[in-house]
A and B are shown apart, each in its own frame.
Chain A
Amino acid sequence: MFYRQSIIVFGFVLPAVVCGAVTGGGLLLKSKAVASFQQKQSLHKASLANNRNSQAIEAQISQKRAHVDRWKALLDKEMKNTLTSELKEISDKLPAKEFTQTAVEWPNGSGGLAAASAQNSSQVRLAFRATYRAMQKAFIELETRMPQLQLQEIKIDPSPSSASTLNFQVTYTAWEK
C-alpha cells in the first residue's frame, strides 16, 4: 500500500483543490463583476431617471426659457435708467395735454410686496397729471415693458387745474437681482 496516500493526495485532493481554486477564482471574479454590474445598473437606472426628470423639467421650463433671457437682460439693466427711458418713450407717444409726468422719487428701503421677501428690490414713486385713458395706456406700456414693477400703491385725485385730467400718484416695488 505504498501508493494509496500518493494517489489520494495527487489524484483526488490536489486536483480538487486546484479545480476548486480555479472555480472559486472564477466565482470570485463573477461576484466582483456582478457587484460592479449591479452598481452600474444602479447608476444607469439613476441616470435614466435623471435624464427622464431632466427632460420632464426641460419640457416644463422650455416655454419659459425664451422669457428668461429677456428677464435676465431686463434685470441686468439699472432700473432707474430703464424706467426713465421707458417713461420718456411712453410720454413721447402720448399728447402732452393728456399725459404729463409731474414727479419721480426713489424712496429707500422696501415696501409693499417686497416688505417680507428676501429678494432684492427697490421702490419708485411717480406722479402724473393725465387723463384716465391716457394714464391707463401709459401704465399698460410701462408695466408690460417692465414686468418687474409691482404696484404698491396708487392714488387718483381730481386735478384742481383741469376738469379733464386727474392727478395720479403711484408707488412701485421693483424686483432686482
Chain B
Amino acid sequence: MVANQHPAGLNPLQRFRQAGAILRGTSRASNPAWYQSALDLDLQLHLRVDGTAVESVLYDRKTKTWSAGPALDDTCATDLALIPAFAAQVLATARSAGASSIGIVLLIADEFATSELKPELDNPGALAELRGTIENEPKAVLDDASVSAEESSWRLIPYPAAGSETIATTVCISRRWASFLDELRRFGEENNFPIITRAISAPLICLLALGNLKTDAVTRPLIAILPYPRFTVLAFFNEHGDLRLLRTLQHRGQRRPTNLRHATSTTAAALELADPEIFLFNVGDQADPQLAADVQIVFPATSIREVQWQETPYRTPGVSSPEPVIAALISAAPETPIAASHTFTVLRGEGWAAQDFLPVSPEAAEYYPSRGEMKLLRSARYARLAFAAATVMALAWVGLAMFQMIRQPEWSFKSEDAQFGKQMLAKVTGDKTRIEHWDNLLEDRSKAWATMELLSVMFPERSGFLTKTFAHSVKTDPAPGQAKIGFIREWKITGLAREAALERLAALNTRDGISGVFNEVAQLTGNQAYRADLPSRSLVVNVRTLENSSYKPGPEDEMNALDEATYPFSFDLTITQRFESADPMAVIAAKAP
C-alpha cells in the first residue's frame, strides 16, 4: 500500500513521483475496474438492507447467475470492527470466482425521505447544474435550511411530466452506511483489488420494474405503491407514463401507514389523476396483506394490480427481493410503451434511478490520479521509452557514423602530415625549377666545336673550296614580357671556289640545302641546336659569288689547293639562324631561384 498524500500539498515533482508510485504499486493503470461503476463490473455483490434483514446475493454478470453472498449483519453499519472480516470474505469470494474486481451494490430500503427544492430554482434548464450542486452543497438547493450534509445525502429526482408544478424533488438517505462502504473500498485499495461501491435507493430502482410490468399501452394515470417495512413510497404518473410526484409515508411502527388510503386519494385528486391504474409492489415479506383492500376503498372502480415477482421477468431463484435483479439488469431497457416514456428513459438512461448516494468523497478521490491521468501516465511511460529508444537509436546512429569515420584512414591523418607533403611538394617543385633553370642555361645551344663541325660539313676537304675567314656570333633577341629569350646565331664565311664547287654553293643557298646541312650536323654531333625542323626556328642563308680577279688558269693536276690563284670564284656566305622565345632552347630570362 502506497502511503499517499493529498496532491494539493505536493509540489509538481512530488505529484509526479506519487503518480508514478501509484502506477507502479497499484493496478489502477491496467485494471479499468478502478474507474468503473459497480453495476458495470462482472462480479457484483448486492446487499439489500430494509431495516429488518440484510440480503446478500452475488451476481456473476458473465454467466448471469445469482448465488448467496457473504453474510452481512446490519450492525456493520455502526460497528467498524466487523467490516474487515466481511471485506476479507468479499475479497476471498471475488478471488475464488476468478474476478479481477467486485462491485458492492448497497440497496438501501430502510429509509427514504423527500424534500422540496427552493422555489426559485424551479428552472428545467438548470436541472443538470442542480444535480451536481445538491451532491456537494445541498443547502444551496433545498428549501429546508436545517439539513446537514454530514449526516445525510441528497439526490435529485426529476419530474419530467409536462405541466408539473416543480421540476424535481429530492430524495434523502442518511450516511449510516458511508463508513461501511469507505472501509470496504479502503480494504480493496490496501489489497490492490478494486472493490467498487454504489449505494442505491431501493425504491427508486424498484420503480424501474414498472417498465417491464406494464406491458400494455399507457392510457390512464398510474400510481405505484411500494410498501417497505419502514415506509411506503407512492409514485404518481400521468397518462403518458411520466412521473408527477414521489411521496413517502413513514410507517411509524405500523405495518403500513395509517394515512395511506387518504394520502393516495387526495394526492391523486390534487394531481388530477382521474381513474388511475394502481400497481402494488409487494417488495417485502412483511407487507400488509390488507393494503390492497385498504386502497381499493378510495379507488373502488380501479382494479389494483398486486405484483407477484414470481410471475415477472425478475423471478430469480435464490434472490428474495426484486431490487438486486432490477439493478443488475438496469442496462437492458424493456420494450414496452411505458418504458419508452420520457420518465423511464431518463431515469434509466441518465442514471437518475441508480444514483450513488454514498460515493467516494471528492477529497478522497483526489488522492489518486483520474482514469484519464492514469492513461496519460501510462502513455508517458511509453513515451519515455520511445524517447529513450529514439535517443539510443540517434546516439547509435551517431556512434556508427563516428565509428565509420574513425575507421577511415583520413581520420588519423594529421595536419602535420599534410604540411610535410606540402613542404615536400614545394621542395621538389623548387628543385625542379632550379634543375630546369640550370638545365636550360647549360643546354648545348652554342658550342665552338659543333660550329667547327658545321664548317667541315659545309665545305668538306677536296670539295673545291678554300675557306679564308670564318666568323660566328650569338646575340639575344629579347621580347618584352617573355619568360624566355630568343636568340640569333650568325655565321659569316668568306672563301674561294672552283668551278665544280659552284653547284654545292648553289645548293647551300637554298632553304632545303642549308637545312639539310644543319640537320646533318645535328645528327653527327647530337647537338639539338642545329635541328632545322622545329617551327620555332628559322634559317636564312645568303651566298654571293664573284669572279676571282687573281685567278690564273692552269692544268688541274698542277693546282695547289692552298693557291688562291687556282680558284676562279670568290664567295661570301652568311647564315642566320633565329630561335624564337618559344623554342625549347630559348634562354630563361630570370635568375636561377
Decide if A and B are genuine partners.
yes
Q: Which residues of chain A have a CB within 8 Å of any CB of chain B?
A: 1-12, 15-16, 18-19, 22-23, 26-27, 29-30, 33-34, 37, 40-41, 43-44, 46-48, 50-51, 53-54, 57-58, 60-61, 64-65, 68, 71, 75, 111-113, 115-120, 132, 135-137, 139-140, 143, 147-148, 150-158, 163, 170, 175, 177
When each residue 78-106 of chain B gets 1 if its CB lies under 8 Å from chain A and 0 otherwise, what string results?
00000000000000000000000000000
Cβ of B12 within 8 Å of any chain A Cβ, yes or no, is: yes
Which residues from A are CB-within-8-Å of B434? 68
| A26-B398, A46-B422 known, 15 other contacts, Cβ within 8 Å | A2-B7, A12-B383, A22-B391, A43-B418, A44-B410, A65-B431, A75-B438, A111-B475, A113-B474, A116-B476, A116-B587, A118-B589, A139-B452, A150-B445, A152-B473
21 A-B pairs whose Cβ atoms sit less than 8 Å apart in the complex:
A3-B19, A3-B373, A6-B13, A7-B373, A11-B377, A12-B383, A29-B398, A29-B402, A34-B401, A41-B410, A57-B428, A75-B438, A113-B587, A118-B589, A132-B452, A150-B445, A150-B446, A151-B446, A156-B452, A156-B470, A156-B471
The answer to whether A40 touches B410, judged by C-beta atoms less than 8 angstroms apart, is yes
When each residue 417-443 of chain B gets 1 if its CB lies under 8 Å from chain A and 0 otherwise, what string results?
110011011011101101100110110
Q: Complex: how many Å from CA A29 to CA B474?
A: 70
The answer to whether A156 touches B441, judged by C-beta atoms less than 8 angstroms apart, is no
Cβ of B387 within 8 Å of any chain A Cβ, yes or no, is: yes
Cβ of B468 within 8 Å of any chain A Cβ, yes or no, is: yes
Closest residue of chain A to B429 (Cβ to Cβ) is: A57
Closest residue of chain A to B449 (Cβ to Cβ) is: A139
Closest residue of chain A to B477 (Cβ to Cβ) is: A116
Which residues from A are CB-within-8-Å of B391? 19, 22-23
Q: Complex: how many Å from CA A60 to CA B257?
A: 131
Which residues from A are CB-within-8-Å of B401? 30, 34
Closest residue of chain A to B442 (Cβ to Cβ) is: A147
The answer to whether B384 touches A148, judged by C-beta atoms less than 8 angstroms apart, is no
Q: Complex: how many Å from CA A43 to CA B415?
A: 7
Cβ of B270 within 8 Å of any chain A Cβ, yes or no, is: no
When each residue 392-426 of chain B gets 1 if its CB lies under 8 Å from chain A and 0 otherwise, what string results?
00110010011001001111010101100110110
Q: Complex: how many Å from CA A18 to CA B366?
A: 30
Cβ of B15 within 8 Å of any chain A Cβ, yes or no, is: yes
Cβ of B16 within 8 Å of any chain A Cβ, yes or no, is: yes
Within 369-384 of B, Cβ neighbours of A (below 8 Å) are at 369-370, 372-373, 376-377, 379-381, 383-384
Which residues from B are CB-within-8-Å of A19? 387-388, 390-391
Closest residue of chain B to A112 (Cβ to Cβ) is: B474
The answer to whether B383 touches A26, judged by C-beta atoms less than 8 angstroms apart, is no
Q: How far is the CB of A83 from chain B (nearest CB, A)?
A: 14
The answer to whether A54 touches B478, judged by C-beta atoms less than 8 angstroms apart, is no
Contact of A58 among B7, B19, B428 (CB under 8 A): B428
Closest residue of chain A to B374 (Cβ to Cβ) is: A3
The answer to whether B376 touches A115, judged by C-beta atoms less than 8 angstroms apart, is no
Which residues from A are CB-within-8-Å of B500? none
Which residues from B are CB-within-8-Å of A135? 452
Chain B interface size, as a band, is 35 or more
The answer to whether B476 touches A112, judged by C-beta atoms less than 8 angstroms apart, is yes
- Looking at B373, B432, B441, which has the most chain A CB atoms within 10 Å of its CB? B441
Q: Complex: how many Å from CA A118 to CA B409?
A: 47
Q: How far is the CB of A132 from chain B (nearest CB, A)?
A: 7
Contact of A2 among B15, B415, B446, B469 (CB under 8 A): B15
- Looking at B390, B476, B478, which has the most chain A CB atoms within 10 Å of its CB? B476
Contact of A115 among B18, B418, B476, B588 (CB under 8 A): B476
With A11-B384, A57-B432, A143-B447 known as contacts, the answer to whether A6 contacts B470 (CB < 8 A) is no
Which residues from A are CB-within-8-Å of B13? 6, 10
**Chain B interface secondary structure, helix, strand, loop or mixed?**
helix
Cβ of B118 within 8 Å of any chain A Cβ, yes or no, is: no
The answer to whether A47 touches B588, judged by C-beta atoms less than 8 angstroms apart, is no
The answer to whether A46 touches B418, judged by C-beta atoms less than 8 angstroms apart, is yes
Q: Complex: how many Å from CA A22 to CA B475?
A: 79
The answer to whether B471 touches A6, judged by C-beta atoms less than 8 angstroms apart, is no
Closest residue of chain A to B377 (Cβ to Cβ) is: A7
The answer to whether A44 touches B591, judged by C-beta atoms less than 8 angstroms apart, is no
Cβ of B301 within 8 Å of any chain A Cβ, yes or no, is: no
The answer to whether B16 touches A9, judged by C-beta atoms less than 8 angstroms apart, is yes
Q: Complex: how many Å from CA A1 to CA B415?
A: 62
Q: Complex: how many Å from CA A163 to CA B434?
A: 47
The answer to whether A140 touches B449, judged by C-beta atoms less than 8 angstroms apart, is yes
With A23-B391, A136-B449 known as contacts, the answer to whether A150 contacts B485 (CB < 8 A) is no
With A71-B438, A117-B485 known as contacts, the answer to whether A4 contacts B12 (CB < 8 A) is no
Q: How far is the CB of B324 from chain A (nearest CB, A)?
A: 35
The answer to whether A115 touches B475, judged by C-beta atoms less than 8 angstroms apart, is yes
Contact of B402 among A2, A33, A44 (CB under 8 A): A33
Q: How far is the CB of A52 from chain B (nearest CB, A)?
A: 9
Cβ of B538 within 8 Å of any chain A Cβ, yes or no, is: no
Q: Complex: how many Å from CA A57 to CA B456?
A: 41
Q: Complex: how many Å from CA A6 to CA B376?
A: 11
Contact of B395 among A1, A4, A22 (CB under 8 A): A22
Contact of B435 among A30, A61, A111, A148 (CB under 8 A): A61
The answer to whether A26 touches B381, judged by C-beta atoms less than 8 angstroms apart, is no
Q: How far is the CB of A38 from chain B (nearest CB, A)?
A: 9
Which residues from A are CB-within-8-Å of B408? 37, 41
Which residues from A are CB-within-8-Å of B562? 163
The answer to whether B428 touches A61, judged by C-beta atoms less than 8 angstroms apart, is yes
Closest residue of chain A to B395 (Cβ to Cβ) is: A26
Which residues from A are CB-within-8-Å of B485? 113, 116-117
